[in-house]
Amino acid sequence: MKYKNPTAAVYLVSAIAGLSIFGDGLLYSVLPLYASELGIPLAAVGVVLSINRWVRLATNPLAARSFNRYGVYWPLLVTMVLSVITTFIYSRAWGLFVFLAARLVWGLCWSHIRLGGFLVIMDASTAALGFGMGIFHVLTRLGSAFTSSAGSFFVDLWGYKTGLTLIAGLSSVGILLVFALGRIMESSHHAEAPRTGETSGERPARHKPELSPLICNAAGFTNSFVGSGLIVSSLSLILQQRIGDSATLGTVTLGIATISGLVLAMRWASNLVVSPVTGKIIDRMGRRSPFLALVYAMVILLSVFAATRNPVMTVLSACLLFIAGNALEVLLDAAVSDNAWISENRNARISQYTSFYDLGAAVGPIVGYAIGVRFSFTAPFYLGALLMALVIGLYVSERGTQRRAASRVTQ
């Protein structure tokens, strides 16, 4: 696929992804607070927030087949329209099963929009693929940051129904951007078959793998379980327990939905700085030392977040957890790419890692709400700290095995 303006294609598809995620990003801030009004039991909130991730385990391969058969344009257009419809459905109190159906459809949509974005960027940014992927990452995170902060403010100001309806309207701009993307496509709307890869002589120098696929998969699962699962899905309830329904800063009073939205926005906004800085650090220092530093930091921060009852410490530790989690995600993406680069089947290697990552994000809310309703909503964070500690133990054990094997070879 060729584009009349490749740079515009990169920005358009990135903005499409950022707009499509408006409804999903806002739900994490407001659904736990309005679940009863929507006819959704509190114990089911975790399922509602995670079911779109479960369905992606099945819809990711479906998306690949869709693009092979219909090209880029039509799957992007259909799923962008469906994403707007699902956001509108979120605004209605039509019951648990309708809400679950909308979340399933959204999972299907995101599988297509994410893969479609990658396909467009690979074709439009052949000489600067990293830059193109960076733009996609930044604009997607900006979409999440905007809706979790501004969208939460709209809900506090005008109510849940009006706030979500407004967000659905804003998200519909993405449909117009898909039309614009179609207008700058030079060839047909059908995608080229993916290339299987280059010979070893065509591959540029890459980092030697420092973290094994096992460590990448385990750490990826745990990081998404904690960040995308536990914290994102239950933060608003924990803040409400520790702060109340509102907080006054000087002469300004903020509702709890706005406060939780602003804190959640830190998760996405911090990526704008964290991602490039982390990339430079791990390129200079390698993967191992930053990996251990980040995982140790996550263990400490999770323990502090669970133990403290101070509102300021709660907000501060949550923000630091988002920063550390974002940095760890960048590091793991680089580490699994190192492994994939020397693998005979790079797609399978990366797919395995992303499946573990999606699984952690899907399991997190369910485990968090199951334990939270039965015991306390802070208890799951001790579990998260334990899982991170187990990742450290797995890494140390594996390194010890590697050293013993190396010493036997040299003897």
CA distance 216 to 102: 32
Residues 255 and 346 in one domain: yes
Range with lowest mean pLDDT among 98-112, 124-138, 252-266? 124-138
What is the distance between the alpha carbons of residues 182 and 187, in angstroms, rounded to a whole number? Answer: 10
Residue 346, domain extent:
208-411
The model's pLDDT over 181-225, given as tens digits with 9 standing for 90+, comes to 999 988 654 444 444 444 444 444 445 778 899 999 999 999 999
* CATH code at position 341: 1.20.1250.20
Give the tens place of pLDDT for each residue, 354-397.
778 888 988 888 888 888 888 888 888 999 999 999 999 999 99
Residue 198 falls inside a structural domain: no
120 and 166 share one domain: yes
pTM of the model: 0.70
Mark whether 14 and 140 lie in a shared domain.
yes
Whether 241 contacts 377, CB under 8 Å: yes
| Residue 202 within any structural domain of the chain | no
Task: Say if residue 237 is in the same domain as residue 135.
Answer: no
Mean pLDDT of all residues in the chain?
84
Q: Among 147, 170, 193, which residue terminates a domain?
A: 193
- Which pLDDT score, from 0 to 100, does residue 410 have? 65
- pLDDT: is 250 or 99 the higher one? 99
The Cα 145–Cα 155 span in angstroms is 15
Please state the φ and ψ torsions of residue 39, each to the nearest 5 degrees.
75, 25
199 found inside a domain: no
216 and 311 part of one domain: yes
Whether 237 maps to a domain, the answer reads yes
For residue 305, give the nearest of 382, 228, 383, 386 by alpha carbon: 382
- The answer to whether residues 172 and 303 belong to one domain is no
Share above pLDDT 90 across residues of the chain, in percent, rounded to a whole number: 36
Residue 7 counted as domain residue = yes
The backbone torsions φ and ψ at residue 252, rounded to the nearest 5 degrees and listed phi first, read -105, 130
Distance CA 105, CA 55 (A): 9
The answer on 215 and 148 residing in a single domain is: no
Are residues 155 and 222 both part of a single domain?
no
Q: Is residue 201 domain-resident?
A: no
Which of residues 138, 166, 193 is at a domain's end?
193
Identify the pLDDT of residue 257.
Answer: 82
DSSP string, 213-230: HHHHHHHHHHHHIIIIII
Question: 233 and 176, same structural domain?
Answer: no
- Those residues whose C-beta lies under 8 Å from the C-beta of residue 227, and which sit 6 or more positions away, are 267, 321, 322, 325, 326, 329
Residue 259 included in any domain: yes
Same domain, 176 and 320: no
96 has a pLDDT exceeding 70: yes
Overall domain count for the chain:
2
Of the candidates 165, 193, 221, which is a domain's last residue?
193
The pLDDT of residue 21:
95
On whether residue 111 sits in a domain, the answer given is yes
Q: Are residues 353 and 382 in the same domain?
A: yes
Percent of the chain scoring above 70 in pLDDT: 88
Residue range 47-80, pLDDT digits in tens: 898 789 889 888 877 887 887 789 889 999 999 9
Give the pLDDT of residue 187. 63
Instruction: Quick: pLDDT tens for 6-52.
Output: 889 989 999 999 999 999 989 988 998 898 888 888 888 878 987 89
167 in Cβ contact with 159 (< 8 Å):
no
Same domain flag for 235 and 384: yes
